[in-house]
Chains A and B, each alone.
Chain A
Amino acid sequence: MNRPSHFNLLARVLHWSMAVAILAMLFVGAAMVVSLRYREVLIDLHRPLGLAILLLAIVRLANRLRHPPPPLPADLPRIQALAATASHWLLYGLMFAMPVIGWAMLSAGAYPVELFSGVHLPPILPHSPVLYGFLRPLHGVLAYVLFFTILAHLGAALFHAWIRRDGVFEQMTTGGKSE
């Protein structure tokens, strides 16, 4: 298969914009659950941003399936290659799971799923205390899993950029000579 040397432009734009959005989302989420004063403003940001991430994740997955990513260096130790592949699919899984669980848990908790003043999403689950009581803590636990996976991803990216200097980091920052 003819693999490109770099991620395509759409993949790079989505990667960096979603990186900002997801990190913002995690910090907003962490702050809003302990805030006595700013819960409302933060949650009003959290819901539409979550939906935006879900929509972008769909575009991103479609692009990823249509355009195979550049290969990892051939000399990368097997364990590192395995960790790279596993963490990337974990990130993809969580990009989808977090917004869907958020939407589902609000539905199960009989909360209105408000995006903007007067604009609502329909519930995707019936009102159910048992489901809400399961999904709400799951949303929090998976947020930590996502955060730690992003930290590992960040550490690995810098490891490739500064120590291995094998071009992996540049696959996501530049278009390469072919473009």
Chain B
Amino acid sequence: MSTPRPHRGSLVLLLPIVLIVALVALLFAWIGGWFGGKGVTPQAMANTAEASGSPQPGFRRAHSKGICIIGSFEPTPAAAQLSTARVFAQASTPVLGRFSNPGNDPHAPDNKAAVRGMALQLKTDDGQEWRMAMNSFPFFASSTPEGFQALNVARLPDSATGKPDPEKMKAVLVKHPEIANFMAWSKSAPTPDSLANTRFNGVNAFRLVDAEGRERAVRWSMRPHAPFVAAEPERLKNAGRDFLAEDLDRRLAAGPLEWDMVMQFAAPGDPIEDPSKPWPDTRPETKVGTLTLVRAQAQAGGPCFDLNFDPLILPKGIVATDDPVLHARSAVYSVSFNRREREISQGQARSGSGSAQ
């Protein structure tokens, strides 16, 4: 191979080369949020949850206190008409789940838990999974993740006074007026005296897809068979730190606990993408199955601890809506999961943190 000596280009051409490389790098940094990002990020939301209390390495950033639950789900015949999800065709699906208290303190007293969570993982025989994360509130605090983030920032103690600044909260309510509905609900709603008689609501809307490809917008809830009993404020005040888990164990020792899974269908014009606006109770509903819990287990060393109950892990036949809060929950849970598993991996989590490792 004899090639003539090439005619070299001027070194001035280094300039466009450097420019091109720098532009690609800048574009990458911008996409990755290193600069110029004005919106709320999942990282910022996880940071706010962390700032609400003392650091709890290895634990979830929110809903840190919890109990693992084990049981099964049996669908009704009506369910298979609504969605092709295998969980509605299979006779029974094993369930692994978790009850939780809000906040970032994994040892908080149960009588401070005004709302409670129920997360479930259903794995069917075709290898598909459905994870859901429900709450005892009937609707979400805010229409948007931005509103929820503003609310949580306003709840943080002010550095000067050590208490939340009421002026900041007022400003948040002006900008996100729907939050007032949630505050009114939390002030007036009676707290059930047990997890067994607590109703849990999916809050976010999803779409069920049937065999013909027809889609129906739904919100689901788990309605307990155990009758509702409101906790008496006096007894609640003196209740033990873990009275919810103790009560659950006592009830499960006597027999399984059941919830009806009910789908509520949106009517045309109902706000599908706004979880702060419940649909009227008069909307048609269908019971799609029964959730039966047979066993509870401490989250420390339990099978639910190192699972991310990401509400966007959905089986074929159930799809997400554009509800921005639903998508934000998935994003923030992922950040929380990444942070805590990293802490566990690096040995920063205290013993008894809850991880099985």
Stretch at the interface among A28-36, A60-68, A80-88, A90-98: A28-36
Q: Give which listed residue, A34, A112, A118, A137, contacts B32 with CB less than 8 A.
A: A34
Cα A131 to Cα B355 in complex, Å, equals 13
Q: Which chain B residue has the least Cβ–Cβ distance from A36?
A: B328
Give the chain B neighbours of A112 by CB distance below 8 A: 127-129, 313
Cα A41 to Cα B132 in complex, Å, equals 18
Give the chain A neighbours of B41 by CB distance below 8 A: 34-36
B343 within 8 A of A: yes
Q: How far is the CB of B72 from chain A (nearest CB, A)?
A: 19
Give the chain B neighbours of A134 by CB distance below 8 A: 342, 345
The answer to whether B39 and A36 have CB atoms under 8 Å apart is yes
Q: Give which listed residue, A30, A36, A166, contacts B6 with CB less than 8 A.
A: A166
Question: Hey, what's the 0/1 contact readout for A19-31 against B, CB within 8 Å counting as 1?
Answer: 0000000110011
B90 within 8 A of A: no
Task: For the complex, count residues of A whose C-beta is within 8 A of B.
Answer: 42
Question: Hey, what's the 0/1 contact readout for B17-52 against A, CB within 8 Å counting as 1?
Answer: 110110011011001110001011111010000000
Given A36-B331, A163-B9 in contact, is the A136-B145 Cβ separation under 8 Å? no
Q: How far is the CB of A143 from chain B (nearest CB, A)?
A: 10
Question: Hey, what's the 0/1 contact readout for A35-71 against B, CB within 8 Å counting as 1?
Answer: 1111110000000000000000000000000000000
Cα A137 to Cα B344 in complex, Å, equals 13
The answer to whether B345 and A40 have CB atoms under 8 Å apart is no
The answer to whether B357 and A111 have CB atoms under 8 Å apart is no
Residues of A9-24 whose CB lies within 8 A of B: none
Q: Which chain A residue has the least Cβ–Cβ distance from B322?
A: A37
The answer to whether A30 and B341 have CB atoms under 8 Å apart is no
Q: Name the residue among A120, A133, A137 with the largest chain B CB count within 10 angstroms.
A: A133
Give the chain B neighbours of A111 by CB distance below 8 A: 308, 310, 313
Give the chain A neighbours of B10 by CB distance below 8 A: 163
Given A27-B28, A40-B320, A111-B308 in contact, is the A165-B20 Cβ separation under 8 Å? no
The answer to whether A165 and B8 have CB atoms under 8 Å apart is yes
B150 within 8 A of A: no
The answer to whether B320 and A133 have CB atoms under 8 Å apart is no
Q: How far is the CB of B174 from chain A (nearest CB, A)?
A: 22
Residues of B315-348 whose CB lies within 8 A of A: 315-316, 320, 324, 327-328, 330-332, 334, 337-338, 341-346
A-B contacts, 29 of them at CB < 8 A, read: A30-B28, A33-B32, A34-B41, A35-B331, A36-B42, A36-B145, A36-B327, A37-B328, A39-B327, A39-B331, A39-B334, A109-B337, A109-B341, A110-B308, A118-B126, A128-B357, A129-B357, A130-B357, A133-B341, A133-B343, A133-B345, A133-B346, A136-B342, A151-B21, A155-B18, A155-B20, A162-B16, A164-B6, A167-B3
A interface residues, Cβ below 8 angstroms from B: 5, 26-27, 30-31, 33-40, 109-112, 117-118, 120, 127-134, 136-137, 147, 151, 154-155, 158-159, 162-167
B interface residues, Cβ below 8 angstroms from A: 1, 3, 6-11, 13-14, 16-18, 20-21, 24-25, 27-28, 31-33, 37, 39-43, 45, 126-129, 145, 306-308, 310, 312-313, 315-316, 320, 324, 327-328, 330-332, 334, 337-338, 341-346, 355-357
